[in-house]
Amino acid sequence: MASPASTPPSPLLRQARECLLQGDLSAASALFRQVLEREPGADAALAGLGHCLGRLGREREAVATLRQAASLVGRRLGSKDDPAPLLDLAWELQQVGAARDSLAPIEQALRRRPVLARAHHLKALALERCGDFKAARLSAGRALALAPGELNAAVLLASLEARCGDLEGARRRLQGIVASRHGAVHSRAVLELGRVLDKQGDAQGAFPLFVRAGALQRARPGRRTEGQVAAWMLREQAHCRRSWLAGLTDPPEEDQADPIFLMGFYRSGTTLMEQMLAAHSTIVSSGEAGLIPQTMAELDRLAPPDGRHWSERMGGLGADGRRHLRRHYWRLARAWFPGCTADTRLLDKTTLNTVNLGFIRALFPRAPILFALRDPRDVCLSCFMQAFAPGPLTDHFLDWQEGVRFYAAVMDHWNVLSQELTPDWRPLRYESLTADPRGTLEPLLDWLGLAWEGAQARFHEQARAGEIVTPSFAEAVRPIYGHAVGRWQAYAPFFAPVEGFLAPHVAGFGYG
């Protein structure tokens, strides 16, 4: 957490920081707010509050709070003061998906200290996230020149060299880092080297590196155990039955059309689909904001977990309770996305909402669902090649067979609940979208009561103006392409041990 205050902290501020260290984000937030009631210009409290809001999933509020803190710190610091507090805030902004906003405090820091390697490194990260890879490469090069022994900077520069087409330069740089076996960056360098070899067409050399990178990550302490989500899905399937759904007869909300849910699986093309849909003048996208998980947390607040399934606890709240949850969902959406009004359609794109299909059907029984489809072999391979943030969902992909089993379990879950609960859904196929964008989207837009707009063919221009917070950000800021279709074929021998898990879905989704 950023700590920009230069004066000794007050007892209340110290107490807030202690709560934060103990992991009690709600208590820390409340204490930071109390500090701000007494001292509205306390930038340390604003920084702490922004940190808490971001970790609580309230990114929009976090960004506004952190921007205010950065503005105050920038005005307070003298020309000779250490600009580290500005960089702390820039880093916090990047953690909540506000890379573009982080550039202002970074530039302020660089005006004070042009030779700060950390500032150039953070600038490179921000520019990369904004899709300006050439400028990001320049900043990363400056960072490494100022701190030649900083291997994080070296790995970042190598990844940007690869993005800019210098694959051979990236490969040589990464091979040197991998040979050093430096613990802090070793696994990341191994993964990046595998990605470079993949781009060079060396699948046989790349795949063992992906295996090695995953094993290194799995060996790190604190990793969550796999299997939790699979057990949770089985319980969902046992409780979310057709007879249960039939008992929920809530009338539709009158002031807002139901959300459009876009779901599927990681690396199934949901970010591309989202960007093309969101280029429509009447569609507002949520990104990966997690509106449904936040609404499930509100259910936990109203009816605390007591061993019963959430459907049983929701049932005890009755129609009024479900109405409260729907309105809570919309309050969040309107607070986080100012463009979300009665005149627009909200696109709720949280990819793994697939596992929350039962809750979505209970909350919005008539909501349309777009289900992203892509060849399961390409999906699993792409997941195995990604540097996902650690978590109970993404940790599955650190092992090839475990990741494939997880994919199969999620698709089994979708097949069971989509047949049992019969949502109003349509498939959206990645391969069709890359081959014929308009021909693929136009019928779906018609189903949603919308018409195709020319801006949707130029979605990448709009994407460049915003920010993409998923691993697909590099692809979303480029015109549409199809070279990732069928990538799995170069890796066909590695699919033999997992063929049994994937075969039903390859055939079932029409890729046989």
pLDDT per position as a tens digit, 355-401: 999 999 999 999 999 999 999 999 999 999 998 888 888 899 999 99
Per-residue pLDDT averaged across 469-492, rounded? 67
Residue-level pLDDT at 473: 45
Reference 137, options 115, 165, 110; nearest CA is 165
346 forms bridges with which residues in the sheet?
284
For residues 447-467, give the mean pLDDT.
75
Predicted confidence at residue 225, as pLDDT, reads: 58
Q: Look at the alpha carbons of 398, 400, 402, 403 in this order and tell me if their dihedral is positive or negative.
A: positive
The enclosing H or E element of 349 equals strand 345-349
Q: How is residue 291 written in tokens?
A: 């509106």
> What is the homologous superfamily of the domain 1-114 according to CATH?
Tetratricopeptide repeat domain (1.25.40.10)
Residue listed under structure tokens 């008539």:
366
Closest CA to 280 of 444, 395, 55, 83: 444
How far is Cα 78 from Cα 101, in angstroms, rounded to an integer?
Answer: 22
Superfamily name with CATH number, domain 228-508: P-loop containing nucleotide triphosphate hydrolases (3.40.50.300)
Q: Quick one: average pLDDT of 302-330?
A: 93
Q: Residue 475: its pLDDT value, please?
A: 52
The closest alpha carbon to 4, from 37, 42, 34, belongs to 42
Phi, psi at 259, each rounded to 5°: -65, 155
Q: What is the largest CA-CA distance in the chain?
A: 69
pLDDT recorded at residue 464 = 47
Residues 6+ apart with CB under 8 A from 440: 428, 429, 432, 433
The answer to whether 64 touches 84, Cβ cutoff 8 Å, is no
Instruction: Give the orientation angle of helix 59-76 with respect to helix 99-112, to 10 degrees.
Output: 10
Phi, psi of 337 (to 5 degrees): -130, 90
pLDDT at 5: 45
pLDDT score for 248: 83
3-state secondary structure of 450: coil
Higher pLDDT, 296 or 471: 296
Take residue 470 and report the two structure tokens written for it.
């998923």
Please give the residue that has the higher pLDDT: either 474 or 56: 56
Cβ neighbours of residue 27 closer than 8 Å, sequence gap 6 or more: 19
Give me the mean pLDDT over the 480-495 stretch.
85
If pLDDT is split at 50, 70 and 90, which confidence band does 339 have?
confident
Kindly indicate the confidence band of residue 155, based on its pLDDT and cuts at 50, 70 and 90.
very high
> 307 Cβ partners below 8 Å, 6+ apart?
none
| CB-based contact 501:408 (threshold 8 Å) | yes
Of the chain, the percentage scoring pLDDT greater than 70 comes to: 92
User: What are the CA-CA distances from residue 100 to residues 61, 127, 347 (Å)?
Assistant: 16, 8, 23
What long-range pairs does 293-296 form, CB within 8 A, spacing at least 24?
Answer: 293/57, 293/350, 293/356, 294/57, 294/329, 294/332, 295/325, 295/328, 295/329, 295/332, 295/359, 295/363, 296/356, 296/359
What count of other Cβ atoms lies within 10 Å of the Cβ of residue 206?
A: 22
* Residue linked to tokens 């501020």: 13
β-pair type (368-373, 260-263): parallel
User: If you compute the radius of gyration of the chain from its CA atoms, what whole number of angstroms results?
Assistant: 24
Residue of 473, 301, 441 whose CA lies nearest to 372: 441
- The mean pLDDT of the chain is 89
What six digits make up the tokens of 150? 């900083």
> Which pLDDT score, from 0 to 100, does residue 474 have?
47
Burial 259-280 (b: 16+ CB within 10 A, else e): bbbbbbbbbbbbbbbbbbbbbb
Task: Report the predicted TM-score, pTM, of the whole model to 2 decimal places.
Answer: 0.87
Alpha-carbon gap, residue 276 to 284, rounded angstroms: 11
The pLDDT value recorded for residue 1 is 54
The ranges assigned to domains in the chain are 1-114, 228-508
Mean pLDDT of 107-117: 94
Question: What whole-number percentage of the chain has pLDDT above 90?
Answer: 70
CA distance 256 to 52: 30
Evaluated on CA atoms 269, 272, 275, 276, the torsion sign reads negative
pLDDT at 496 over 60: yes
Q: What pLDDT score does 230 carry?
A: 86
Q: How confident is the model at residue 418 (pLDDT cuts 50, 70, 90)?
A: very high
